[in-house]
Every structure is written in C-alpha cells, then in structure tokens.
Structure 1
Amino acid sequence: MPLVVMCGYPCSGKTRRAEELKVYFEQSCDRKVHVVGDGGLDVDKNTVYGDSQKEKNVRASLKAAVERKVGKDDIVILDSLNYIKGYRYELFCLIKHAQTPHCLVYCLTSDEVSSTWNANRDAAEQYTQDIFDALVLRFEAPDSRNRWDSPLFTILKEDSLPYVAISDALFKRKAPPPNQSTQSQPLSSANFLYELDKTTQDVLMAIFNAQKMSVPGDLISVPGATEKISFSHLTRSINMAELRKLRRQFISYTKMHPTENTGQISNMFVQYLNKSLH
C-alpha cells in the first residue's frame, strides 16, 4: 500500500517519527508496516556520504527495497535523508507505477538543533562535522507545490504528528493533493520557518567564506540581499560562534514578527547584523 517518505537534516528526528508512525499504523489498521532505511544496509554513514558514488549506490539500494515491498497490503516508511529533489521525484514515479499513494513527512529543525542531537549520539553513530555540514548545505527542502513532494507534512521538533491527517492522505485520497496539505498550519510554522532558517544560514556561510578573502572594512555581498554587510568599524573578523548567536537572536525575534514576503528575509538579516555589530 502507501509509501511514507521521511525527509530532513541529519539527526533531525526522522527515525523517531518513523517509529511513531509505525506504531500508530500497526495499532490503527490491520496492515504490516515496513521501515526501510540506511540502518538496515549495515554501512558506515560517514564513508557513504563522503563518497558520491557510494551514496548513489545506497540510494539505489533503498529505492530497490522500497520497490520490492510496496504492494497492496503493506505500508512502507522510507527512513533516510531523502534530501535530493531528483531522488524524491524517482520515488514519486515508483509509486505512480505501483498505483499507490504516498506522502512526505519533513522533520524541520535548525542546523544547530540537529548538530546538538548529532553530538549527543554514541560516537559510532555520529556524523563527522564535515559530513554533517556538507549534507546541510546540499539539502534540497521539499516544496508542496511539486507533485512529488505532496502531500507534505512539515513537523517541528515540538509538534505531535498529525496521525489522522497523514492516514487520510494515504488511504482516503487518490487525486494529487492541494498545494498545502496541512491547511491548518499557519505560514509561520511551515514555509516561513524553513525560509527563515535556510536564508539566515546562507547569509552566515556567505559571510564566513567572504572573510577568508577580505579584510576588515570590506563590504560583503550576501545571497538574496540588495544591502551589503558593513564591518567598516571592525578591526577583526567575526567568528562563526558570534554570527550564530546573532542569527539565533534574529530568528527568535522574527518568529514573533513574521513577514509574508520571505524575499525580504536576507535584507532584514543584513540590516540586523549591521546594526548589532556597530
């Protein structure tokens, strides 16, 4: 029967949510639930995600496992990063061929939260910081406007899973879903939070990388912003820890005062940094 595709940063809670869904489905309907994931392949995640060919092979193995298990009677949950848009499209083509519905469950956390959760794991289960950072930078977030990413359920770390809505999307709906599958969610809890998190992270990385090739006093351009970062009064570089602290403060404030024009987030953050560092 249906396929549930988990999606999110490394250590964003995907496995925990997959297990919660498995328990729910086993208790609420008389069907087998199969969880397919990296853990079942007995591979070292840092070795896999540090080698593009090995990663491609793992994705192919997971897809093949899903294809074998998707059928009329069972539910399949794919518990992996699933961070590549093209790969999610391949999964969509697979379920179309099998004539079974699917949905995405997107575990939306900040990179700081996921990094902390990663650090709290047993050493053998941790991503190295280099691999973790690379995966976060490569992450292609799902978008409910894409038919292969819909229906999309965006779950924050403090949220409870919308079990009934997910079940309805899988068992009571055959046509493609509306653009926003969880219509009760306000803008601030889904697209806005994602844009806020991604945009501010992109600005930080732009500043951090630019400082390697600039001197204090240079103007720094950042993606998506017409204004530039001005550190003209500073005689030193700003370290990432300081930038992340300012980012957290900006996010906390902006969550309380969300804007519907997400295209302005970059400029707003640049203005905040310029003001805070003067």
Structure 2
Amino acid sequence: MPLILISGYPCAGKTYRSEQLLNFLTTKIASSTDPRVTKLKVHHITTENLGLSRTAYHAARPEKDARATEMSAVKRLLNRDTIVIADGLNYIKGFRYQMNCEAKAVQTPSCVVHVGTPVDKCREVNARRLSGEDKTEAYSEEDFENLVFRYEEPNGMARWDSPLFTVVLDDETPPFEQIWEAMVGSDGQAKIVRPNAATVLKPAMEQNYLYELDKQTSDIVNQITSWQKDHPGEDGGEVTITGVENHVQLPVTPLSLPQLQRIRRQFISLNRQHNLDKGRISLLFVDYLNDTVHG
C-alpha cells in the first residue's frame, strides 16, 4: 500500500500533522465495511520510534546513517496491505527520489505531504524548545540553520514529489480526503504502479553494466560541457545528446562541471544496483538531469 512522505523545515509541525493523518486513516479504515479496506494497516515511522536523535544532523556520517535507518524501516514495512507514513525531514530531493523508487519497486503509489510552516515560525519553536526543560526535540542553532539552508522544497512537477499536498500553518482542514483518494481510491484499492526500468532489479547483472553506467553518463556530461563552451553567454538552451531522443534543457545559469558531476554521481549511486537496460541508461540520465535541474 502507499508510501506517504512528510517533509518540511525542522520544527515545522510535521509530527503533529502526521499524527492527524494517522488518526484520519485509522478511523477511515475502522469505519469501512469493505474487506479490501478493513484489512489495511497503517505504520507511522518517526524519529522517536526509530531511536534517532536530532544531534544526528550535526555531522555528515550520523546524518547519513539516520537516513539509512529511515530507508530500511520503509523498505521493511512497505507492502500491498500497509500504508506507511514516513515522518521526517525528508529534505533532500535525492532521498525522496530513492523513496519513490522503493514504492515503485513494490508497485504501490507514493506522495509527499509538505508541511509549509514559515521558517521564522520554525525558528521560534526551536528557540522555545532549546530554552525549555526538555531539549530532546530541539536542534542546536547551528544545526537548525544548516538544515534550513540545505532544505530542498518539494516540487509537484518532479515525478518523485508527485502528487504533492501542502499543509500551511493555520490549515484546519488538511487535504486528507484528497490524499486518501489519490493513494487508496474510492473503491479501497490502491492503484497498481508499474515499475519502470530504474526500479526493477534484474536477476543477474548485465556484463559491463557499471562500466556502461559510468561511460554513458560521463559522455553526456562531456557533451553538455562542450555545448556550453561553444555557446557562451546564451541563456539556457537545448543540448542534443547522441543516441537520445530527449534533449537536455539547460537552465538560464550555465551548469558548472562540479554541478554536473554531482548530479552524475547521484544518478550512479541511485542506480548502481538496479541493473538498468544498457540501451536506456542515457535516456534515463537525461530525464534525471532535467528533473534535477528544473525540479
């Protein structure tokens, strides 16, 4: 059943909203007479029930471990009869992309709920927690500002953030019915999501797959870099990639080589174990580039 990702600034009220959603879903299931609905279960994954501390965001290694812990919990619980609410920062779009891939791998839909509390209000809440007796729910000022700076707001135009539901600070009627309709449906049967080439694991690794993954993505980066050198001062543009039908849509600001290499490394990391069809690597990388740059 569906994966519902909660995202927002630190201290935005994500847990409050996810608990509201949890109560709505459990009530909806309990009041139904449809056996396809009554068999559903809801799991609420939080920082607390995963045993994670907010101090994990003070350094890169524990932060990476915290994300891995959340990912493992989602993979363990996600199945056809379970709705998983992943309540966390979920602030990195690459991580949300991975979560989307995990949902597709079990042929179930996913969505993102963005708790859109203004950063000044979040800062005020964190300061109040820091000055209170129980500081376990607070972030250090340095960590708070760093997380706000690095937050990559969900964008409904990106496939991994769609459908996107935004809940503003004073919203007394969050779109829970719309979430239910999109994720479960009026008939109580979640839509079956067809896995794409990027989420289906093949039984055996194709020969030279990692070599092709590295070579084809590197070739595309080189073609983009070369095009930008030949078209200095142009605002955006389309780069035709050899052997790929889709074009790379460049932003107004030219992409630097470090930016391109970072996106390339993200794509390789996400697909290292997915054993993509070698004939589709370039196409999927072009799509990923466009989504990342314009997402």
**TM-score of the aligned structures, taking structure 2 as reference length:** 0.57
Alignment of 1:130-145 (within 5 A): 130-145=142-157
Moved more, 81-90 or 48-57: 48-57
Separation in 2 of the partners of 1:39 and 1:157? 23
Give the superposition deviation at 1:37. 2.0
Query: Which amino acid letter does the alignment assign opposite residue 124 of structure 1?
Result: T
* Cross-structure match for 1:32: 41
Separation in 2 of the partners of 1:33 and 1:118? 29
Give the superposition deviation at 1:175. 8.1
Structure 2: 5+ residue stretches without partners? 30-37, 194-251, 253-295
Q: Secondary structure at the match of 1:39?
A: coil
Alignment of 1:176-187 (within 5 A): none
Structure 1: 5+ residue stretches without partners? 177-223, 225-278
Moved more, 138-147 or 33-42: 33-42
Alignment of 1:2-151 (within 5 A): 2-29=2-29, 30=38, 31-46=40-55, 48-121=56-129, 122-151=134-163
Give the superposition deviation at 1:117. 1.5
Query: Which amino acid letter does the alignment assign opposite residue 180 of structure 2?
Result: S
Separation in 1 of the partners of 2:161 and 2:192? 14
Higher RCO (CA-CA < 8 Å; seq separation 6+): 2
Query: Which amino acid letter does the alignment assign opposite residue 133 of structure 1?
Result: E
After superposing on structure 2, the runs of 4+ consecutive aligned residues of structure 1 that deviate more than 6 Å are none
Q: Secondary structure at the match of 1:119?
A: helix
Query: Which amino acid letter does the alignment assign opposite residue 125 of structure 1?
Result: E
Contact 2:54 2:136 in 1 (8 A): no
Query: Which amino acid letter does the alignment assign opposite residue 27 of structure 2?
Result: Q
Q: Secondary structure at the match of 1:106?
A: strand
Give the superposition deviation at 1:171. 1.2
* Cross-structure match for 1:161: 174
Q: Secondary structure at the match of 1:126?
A: coil
Give the superposition deviation at 1:125. 1.9
Percent identity (aligned): 40
Give the superposition deviation at 1:134. 0.3
Change (3 A) 1:65 1:166: same
Residue-by-residue CA offset, 1:6-42 (whole Å, 9 max, x unaligned): 0000010110011011111101013321111211232
Separation in 2 of the partners of 1:32 and 1:150? 23
Contact 2:10 2:89 in 1 (8 A): yes
Q: How many residues are matched? A: 176
